[in-house]
Amino acid sequence: MHQDLALCWRVEEACKLAWPPLHAQLIDGYVLHMSEANQSRRANSINPLNGPRGCSDHFIDMVEAMFDHFGKRYCARLPEIANELDIKLASRGYQREAETLTLFADQLPPAAAGCDIYVAPGHAPKSWLDFYFSMSKDDQGQQEAFCRILNQIALPKAFGETRIEGRVAAIAYAVAVDDLVVLEAVVTDPRLRRRGLAQKTIGGLMAWAADEGCTQAALQVVAENEAATNLYAKLGFSTELYRYHYRVKDQNAKAS
């Protein structure tokens, strides 16, 4: 974990703004994210805020009652900078999932431009969404929820595509939070990997970010995704700020 906790929390809060939930409720130093048909852990979990936080069994009981109300499995997102619930949730039968890195670049990665790179500020083009859903295999309800999540982003945002022979081959989106740009949803067609398409897409978004006044960048990536972490290191995301993981449990599971 990086020693600059102020930077860690700044990036943590920016990443929340770049992938907001459809609904949020505050409870004792945490924010509960709920997003209806969307099934992602990030959009349906309890997340710590900077400051004092609840940690008692009574607090956990209250949180579980809120998940019960929404019909969602219990899910806590626990960054290293605020993971005091981890041991207690493990003792209650919560399983650990999806260790994720938070990476930081103190300078913007190289910008890129070209006839095969397209950047759309403001709203995701149909071609971007069609590609995303073709890769994610989301059902209709999940697709609608994801579109609503994108529409919830209130800060400047842009959607990047790289195309081959007119067809989308890689995508990502970026959100400008003051002078920090957050990258999200970096996806490449598996049949077209190792051709620099993600790098081109990110480069196109970095050109947009520079125009927005951004000077630094951050992203979060699953730790076991070695190909992605190698790419991001090459692009200048050389600082690991902190990791996070989830603790999850089905409602009908009994605490051990």
pLDDT score of 251 more than 70:
no
pLDDT score of 20 more than 50:
yes
For 11, 127, 161, 184, 246, the CA distances from 16, given in Å and listed in that order, are 9, 25, 23, 11, 15
What is the pLDDT, as a whole number, of residue 256?
Answer: 39
What is the pLDDT, as a whole number, of residue 253?
Answer: 55
| pLDDT tens-place string over residues 217-230 | 999 999 999 999 99
| pLDDT tens-place string over residues 68-123 | 999 989 999 999 999 999 999 999 999 999 999 999 999 999 898 887 999 999 99
Stretch 151-178: mean pLDDT: 96
For 63, 64, 90, 176, 228, the CA distances from 58, given in Å and listed in that order, are 9, 10, 16, 38, 40
Structure tokens at 169: 């081959």
Torsions phi, psi for 103 (to 5 deg): -110, 145
pTM here is 0.92
What is the distance between the alpha carbons of residues 131 and 171, in angstroms, rounded to a whole number?
8
Q: Which residue has the higher pLDDT, 3 or 254?
A: 3
Which letter, b or e, does each residue of 75-89 get, where b requires 16 or more Cβ atoms within 10 Å of its Cβ?
A: bbbbbebbbebbeeb
